[in-house]
Amino acid sequence: MEVSGTQLILALVIGLFVLILLCLKTKVHAFLALIIASIVIGLIGGLPLVVDANNKVSIVNSITGGFGGTLGSIGIIIGFGVMMGEIFQLSGASNRMAFTFLKLFGKGREEFALALTGYIVSIPIFCDSAFVVLCPIAKSLSRTTRKSIVALGASLAAGLVVTHTMVPPTPGPLAVVGNLASAGGNIDLGRYIILSLIFSIPITIVAVFYAKYVGRKIYQVPAADGENWERPEDKGPDYTTALSMDTKDMPGTFVSFFPLLAPILLILCNTVLSALKLTEANFLTLLLYFIGQPIVAVGIGLLLAIYTLGFKYAKGDLLLKMENGMKSAGIILLVTGGGGALGRVLSNSGIGSYIAGGLAQTGLPVFILPLVIATLVRFAQGSGTVALTTASAITAPIVVAANGNPYLAALAACVGGLFCAYFNDSYFWVVNRLIGISETKEQLRIWTLTTGVCWLTGVVFLFIFGIFLR
């Protein structure tokens, strides 16, 4: 049976209302709330209860497929990452990293240092994986300086997500440029990379200022045991303790950072080989491509941490520490998978496609069209990559036919992919849970509003760039 557009919009509105109501006003856990909301949207949105004669995927298949698909790409990495983080803490490597950052960038600049790290690292690497790998640095800085993990974690996450969404060779922006080029747009990939890097700088800076603001409002630091969180009344920072740390028993700087840097370099190598289409040129490139897969690369990082940082500890102590990390990863995995389930139901029901198709028929200015479509598709189904890819595919022929500037259209589509992340975005759960935020209102203030600030800043600069890109 054909589902009307009104019914699809109604499904989205009611489903999100149910989700927010369950999270804010009941004792239902966020994971269960995500599954319930997915079922509600599927039922109202016309997804069949079972696979029908037209092989239209069912509600349950959408939920399990979205859950499994999300965890298939990020679940193992989260598991490896939290175990690596426990080894960093046990060995003192996390303190060495924090001390090095303070010495290198100077006190008071930790948020910008982390944002810069994310800005660079996420160009070739998915932000989910990178945040899991780099979060121990933010956590250690928070523990040693008494700065809020909220400010530090949100700054790191913002730096990662901005270039992940805006700058090739990340798949989403790369697809945007490809769609415009295929439609006949005169767009050069190298020029767009330079332009998007420049464009991303003010977005990242504004996001850091907001992260610092919300970090003062929600002050949280790691507890002394390293496994829990506390909210003391005496708010930091305290650089005296951090800068006077006794480094004698800490691992060296290279040994401490190497388990983090190795997977990042391997994934970067994988990205370069893929871009150059050299993945099977010979055995060496095939091997590098394989070990550069995020799951394999982070697994190698974990092995390096075990044998370079954990070698001096008894097997039982080291295993117990890693298992403690896995306990904390359980809830992260569930809610991240739940977000993926909701996103898949929204996608399979056709809500995002309906919104995008309707907007393409409006009389909006050329560069506004990909921005609005990407924004609404991002809101409707959660994935920034899907949003900007969909928007560029729909609007590329329109932009070319109207003789619009393809660079401005590409930037607009990518900005739309930054729009307010919430429950149907797996990165929303990864960021909030790894920095110890479980209250729904606080999760929205910390990450939904951070990405909202990124989007709004991007929109402002789109109009500024539009003055020069005719």
Domain total of the chain: 1
Q: For the range 242-250, what are the long-range contacts, defined as Cβ-Cβ under 8 Å and sequence gap of 24 or more? A: 242/98, 242/99, 242/102, 242/107, 242/144, 242/145, 243/99, 243/102, 243/107, 245/95, 245/99, 245/144, 247/96, 247/99, 249/92, 250/92, 250/93, 250/95, 250/96, 250/99
In tens digits, what is the pLDDT along the chain, a chain of 470 residues? 577 878 888 988 888 788 778 877 787 877 888 889 889 988 988 888 876 656 567 888 888 888 887 777 677 877 887 788 788 878 878 777 777 777 787 778 889 989 988 888 777 667 887 788 788 888 888 988 889 999 999 999 999 999 989 987 677 787 888 888 877 778 887 788 888 989 999 999 999 999 999 999 999 999 877 678 999 887 777 777 666 666 777 788 888 888 878 887 888 788 788 777 777 778 888 888 898 888 888 889 899 989 988 888 888 888 887 887 777 677 767 777 777 787 788 778 877 677 766 766 766 677 888 898 889 888 877 777 778 877 887 778 778 877 888 899 999 999 999 998 988 888 898 899 899 998 989 999 999 999 999 999 999 999 998 887 76
The amino acid at residue 415 is V
Domain of residue 443, residue span: 5-468
Backbone angles phi, psi at 56, to 5 degrees: -70, 130
Give the bridge partners for 229, in sequence order: 222
Task: Using the structure block, give the residue that is written with the tokens 């039982």.
Answer: 316
| Separation CA 95–CA 466 (nearest Å) | 45
CB neighbour burial string for 203-240, b if at least 16 within 10 angstroms, e if fewer: bbbbbbebbbebbeebbbbbeeebeeeeeeeeebbebe
What is each CA distance from 372 to 51, 342, 428, in whole angstroms? 33, 22, 21
Q: Using N-to-C axis directions, what is the helix angle for 253-275 and 283-291, rounded to 10°?
A: 120
The residue to which tokens 């370079």 are assigned:
308
The closest alpha carbon to 293, from 270, 319, 317, belongs to: 270
Dihedral over alpha carbons 38, 394, 181, 454 (to 10 degrees): -50
Asked if residue 370 has a cis previous peptide bond (ω within 30° of 0), the answer is no
Report yes or no: 181 and 158 within 8 Å, Cβ to Cβ: no
pTM: 0.74
Task: Compute the distance between CA of residue 269 and CA of residue 290 in angstroms, rounded to an integer.
Answer: 10
Categorise residue 108: left if φ over 0, alpha if ψ from -120 to 50, beta otherwise.
Answer: left
